[in-house]
Each structure stands twice: as structure tokens, then as C-alpha cells.
Structure 1
Amino acid sequence: MSATATTAATRRARAWLVLLLAGAFEVGYALAVGGSQGFTVLSWSLVAGVFFLLTLFALSVALRTIDVGIGYATWAGIGAVGAALLGPVLFDESLTAVRACWLAVIIAGVVWLKLSDRPER
């Protein structure tokens, strides 16, 4: 593998790590919005604002390298699954077997998108 190919592979790997971080920030944002009760609880509202800015910044950095469609779908999937799994832990929400099944489908889709994001040869 040439030095240029190694550099490109490293750049793509870093972009995917930043995208995962953006997804984690998205989970934090979604949960904070839920805790803010319609932005009526100041502390949760401030946390939501911070996570909102962090998730958008990290997403924009990742999308410098990753295609927008792949990156956005992955980011949204991570946020949706994370919020759905942590919502029952932090709030009075339920996670049924049917919901868990569909979350597994989303996870499979995100993994499939990652595997399809290969540089063209």
C-alpha cells in the first residue's frame, strides 16, 4: 500500500470515528430534549443546546470525507437507536420486543452502510 493510500485510509478511519462521536452527541441531544420537557427545564435545555452544537460540528467534520447520504443516514441511525435504547433507562419509556427487532434492523442497515463505504478502485 502506498503512502498516499495509507494517508487516505487513515483519513477515512478518522472520519468514521468522528461520525461515531457525532452519533453519540446526537443521542445526548435527543435524551436532553426529552428531559427538557419541551424546553421548560432550564438545565436539560442547556445540555440539549450544547449537545446540539457538538453533534452538528462533529457531523460537519465527518462529512468532509464521508459521502453526505451515507454519513447522514449513519448519524441518524446511531441517534435513533441510542435514544431508543437509553430512553427506557433514563425516562419512563418502554422497549418492547417488536421495537427491539426494528432497532436491530436499523443497526444492520448502519453496519451495511459502513461496509458499502469503500473507496472506488
Structure 2
Amino acid sequence: MSTITRTRSGTNAWVVLLLAGLFEVGYALSVGGSDGFTVLSWSLVAVVFFLLTLYALSVALRTIDVGIGYAVWAGIGAAGAALLGPMFFNESLSLAKVGWLSVVIAGVVWLKLADGTSD
């Protein structure tokens, strides 16, 4: 496999992983809205996001190491849900929470950068 092909497939895998993370945020928020899967509309949306996030994650993990990919996916999901939860569910978001979420986001970025140097 040429370097250009390897780079392109690696970049595509990271884009798919980002998409999987966004689907994970959608899943987390819709599970919150489902009220324990008692609200049908939110429950159906949760199932769709669940299937999308698992599919996208599995595609991304064909190229990205599972430990790195899973950590990034979970970090995107956790940070996204924590940041958007207050908008949808009247949750609190303190300055301390924002600070620690920044640490999670920085860790995800560093994992991505570290993956790029390992060939």
C-alpha cells in the first residue's frame, strides 16, 4: 500500500471516528430524553443513533488501534453530552466541569496526534 493510500485511509478513518463520536452524543442525549426508554419517539431515535455509532466505530477501528479509537470515541461522546446536556435537559455546567472537559478534549487531540506518529 502506498504512503498516499495509507494516509488517505487513515484520514478517512479519523473522519468516520469523529462521525461515530457525534452519533454517540446523539445517542446519549436521546437516551436522556427517552426517560428510561418510556418515551417512544426518543427511544426510537436512541436506537437509530446506537446503531449508527456502533457501525461507524467498527468501520473506524479497521484502521485505528482499538485502544486509541475507543478512547477518542468515548471522549467525544462524554464531552459532547456534557456540553449539550444543559441545553436539552436543564443540567448544570460549572466552570470546573468545563475545565475538566477541556482536559478530556486535549487528551483526545493528543491521542490523535500520537496515532499520526506511529507507523
TM over 0.5: yes
Band of TM-score, shorter chain: over 0.9
Alpha-carbon distance in 1 for matches of 2:67, 2:118: 16
Instruction: Name the % identity.
Output: 71
* 1:101 and 2:111 correspond: no
Runs of 4+ residues over 2 Å off in structure 1: 118-121
Letter in 2 for 1:5: T
Question: TM-score, normalising length from structure 2?
Answer: 0.97
Aligned-partner residue type, residue 80 of structure 1: A
Which residue is equivalent to 1:88?
86
> Shift of residue 9 of structure 1?
0.1
- The two structures, once aligned, show a CA RMSD in angstroms of 1.1
Aligned residues: 119
Cα distance in 1 for partners of 2:110, 2:118 equals: 17
Output the TM-score relative to the length of structure 1. 0.96
Residues 49-72 of structure 1, C-alpha deviations (whole Å, 9 max, x = no match): 000000000000000000000000
Unaligned runs of 5+ in 2: none
Q: What is the SS of the residue equivalent to 1:111? A: helix
Shift of 1:91: 1.1
Counterpart Cα distance in 2 of 1:11 and 1:102: 32
